Structure 1
């Protein structure tokens, strides 16, 4: 299959509404290619007791690919060499990224700096200086192109290397006042998105964006964060991925410091300068998360589960999330068989996937 045909199939697969990152990876591991996975969708969904998903139309996918090309951007596919290695190993990593800028930055150590949108002047100055100091140590600064701390971090690392993770399409400037900054990053940094060009971000897209920030980085530094803020979501995701979580302490009288102080109380590393950040993430790997690129070399042969085996797995499922490892252990079935049954239920619209490799049976 040509690279163009493979890319078209990958775009169609991930733009199909019922297919998320985990389902996508399971399909490619099972069938070896996006094209083979597309062919298998109707049968899999029927065996799971549902209707086949409405697959993204060829013309829609072709139009997106043309838009990406016109923007001077390119696709990065998980399992291929240009895809960031550390992100490829994170749960729920985007199967396709759209990137514009200097892709060589992915070969350098990466640290995320995130924080409050309504940041204080002192915190913004600190974040800008921290990013500058890290850049002088050959570290690439990752952030989310938001107001406040994100903006300060990008500015501090603009000349040494910064990566912006967008919640919307790569051609959408959000917030609008960051348009000039984002255009500059197209030239000297990198801007990443997992959504199609023209896509306007919604509230649910920002936590999804945050997992990319955490997944790219050896560690995440939080500079000012109110309780229950998006920055704390990024920190939690980083911790779940086994990455270093660091926080800058602040005054207990400032609500914007409560999130950071809480992280430190819960075990995050207290940092006050670039040297302490580097000390936390460089125990011997130079700040780089050494992870092999995931390769899809399937298909993986798995015998079709019998009716009683499917029933056994469904009986173990309920509305509360359960670890997949527990389903394997309690069902007595091979892991591949359980994963195939879950894949069928997922494509039939009867399964919900949760963080930490947990699943539940969809009700209603």
Structure 2
């Protein structure tokens, strides 16, 4: 992209009243932005109305500053940064099949892989920003196993399930594979949340970070629900690991359905608020998922590990030990010390000692409120 072309795109998209739908109408009527701006205001008004046409006649405030900042960002690492538009051959094909594709897409990382992105090769994994320890393990394990089958994992770089899914994908990817795609709600010159700065660097080395927002865009709350349509649009299906009833992950699932994509949900404890969103999706027709094979069969993706049990409820060890008796009594729901003492009949000191041993082994997680939860690994 040349600087003049970039300036024309930014002028169009930064004009007050020109959202993606209006921009697409103008592009369809007149061609690329440079051609749009050569038209008289009367021609604009015939397509988008007088009010928007009047706004288009004036250059947006701070446009020159934005063009300079964007050009500098792009030229700082041209091998790993790109801006693609609706008409570019590198524009991700799956997004062209959605109702509301972004007009301009900023990309960072393995940008040469943009043109090869196919929804049949990608799965979105989303969920709570505050997952249970088991939910975090599930997200990471599913992402790792699914990446090993050749799928690219798409998520939103948020805390919780998103971060775990990206990490699992990076763990499971083969050399040269596009392991994971992070679709963010900020400009690509910043990382949000800041805790994920090292993770973002890893993703840029082995995958892609995408945004429709200009450089300098801060983490505005309204941007995150909107970016979810890109997460689902890039993917053949969306797997919801954990979600409360008001979770943004349910927005992604709804958009996946509207785009004709598959929706999967992992059930959880009936006592956990983080499971209620998944249970609601299952009641509405989402596929209940207990193992990686459930996802692969629905997507018709060959499973190179078909003979290896990958269900996440597989016991972590085969040899019974004294601790296994306590793990059985723990079950899979969070439980308090008093309840566990009543179940086990152990005195307090012995029970706390065994729980500490299990924590150190990574078999049990201590939760707020004096609760304990068994962790099951894939």
Q: Assess same fold via TM > 0.5.
A: yes
8 Å Cα contact 2:26-2:44 kept in structure 1:
no
Task: Please show how residues 23-172 of structure 1 align to structure 2 within 5 Å.
Answer: 23-40=22-39, 42-44=41-43, 46=45, 48-50=49-51, 52-53=54-55, 54-56=58-60, 57-58=63-64, 60-70=66-76, 72=78, 73-103=81-111, 104=113, 106-107=116-117, 109-159=121-171, 160=173, 161-172=179-190
Q: CA deviation at 1:4?
A: 4.4
Q: Deviations over 1:97-129 (max 9, x none)?
A: 110111326435110000000001101101101
Deviation at 1:41, TM superposition (A): 7.0
* Contact kept? 2:155, 2:166, Cα under 8 Å: yes
Q: 1:36 to 1:157 in 2, by over 3 A?
A: same
Aligned twin of 2:283 = 265
- SS of alignment partner, residue 165 of structure 2: helix
- State the 1:69 CA deviation: 2.4
User: Aligned partners of 1:218 and 1:174: how far apart in 2?
Assistant: 26
Q: Give the 3 Å change call, closer, same or farther, for CA 268–149 of structure 1 in structure 2.
A: same
Alignment deviations for residues 125-144 of structure 1 (CA, whole Å, 9 cap, x no partner):
01101001111111000000
CA RMSD of aligned residues (A): 2.0
Q: CA deviation at 1:146?
A: 0.3
Q: Does the 8 Å CA contact 1:132/1:156 hold for their aligned counterparts?
A: yes
2:192 pairs with 1:180: no
1: distance between equivalents of 2:257 and 2:210?
A: 22
Q: Where in structure 2 are the equivalents of 1:186-205 lying within 5 Å?
A: 186-205=204-223
1:40: how far off?
Answer: 3.4
Q: For CA contacts below 8 A with separation 6 or more, give which structure has more relative contact order.
A: 1
C-alpha displacement at 1:166, in angstroms? 0.9
Task: Tell me, yes or no, if the aligned pair for 2:128 and 2:244 is still in contact at 8 Å.
Answer: yes
Task: Note the residue ranges of structure 1 that are not aligned, 5 or more in a row.
Answer: 285-364
* Structure 2: segments with no counterpart, 5+ residues: 174-178, 303-378
Does the 8 Å CA contact 1:12/1:58 hold for their aligned counterparts?
A: no
Deviations 1:203-228 (A, max 9, x none): 10001111110111111100100012
Contact 1:68 1:98 in 2 (8 A): no
Distance apart, 1:65 and its partner CA:
2.3
Give the superposition deviation at 1:18: 1.7
State the distance in 1 between where 2:132 and 2:85 align.
Answer: 38
Determine the C-alpha separation between the residues in 2 that align with 1:212 and 1:268. 20
Name which one, 1 or 2, has greater alpha-carbon Rg.
2
- Cα distance change of structure 1 residues 12 and 29 upon mapping to structure 2, 3 Å threshold: same
Aligned with 2:170: secondary structure?
A: coil
C-alpha distance in 2 between matches for 1:169 and 1:110? 23
- Residue 339 of structure 1 corresponds to none
User: How many aligned positions are there?
Assistant: 283
State the distance in 2 between where 1:278 and 1:52 align. 52
CA distance in 2, matches of 1:38, 1:282: 47
- Does the CA contact (< 8 Å) of 1:111 and 1:141 recur in 2? yes
Distance 2:42 2:74 in 1: 32
Residues 137-156 of structure 1 deviation map (CA, whole Å, 9 limit, x = unaligned): 11000000000000000000
| Structure 2 Cα separation of the partners of residues 133 and 21 of structure 1 | 36
CA distance in 1, matches of 2:33, 2:252: 30
**Separation of aligned partners in 2, 1:255 and 1:189:** 33
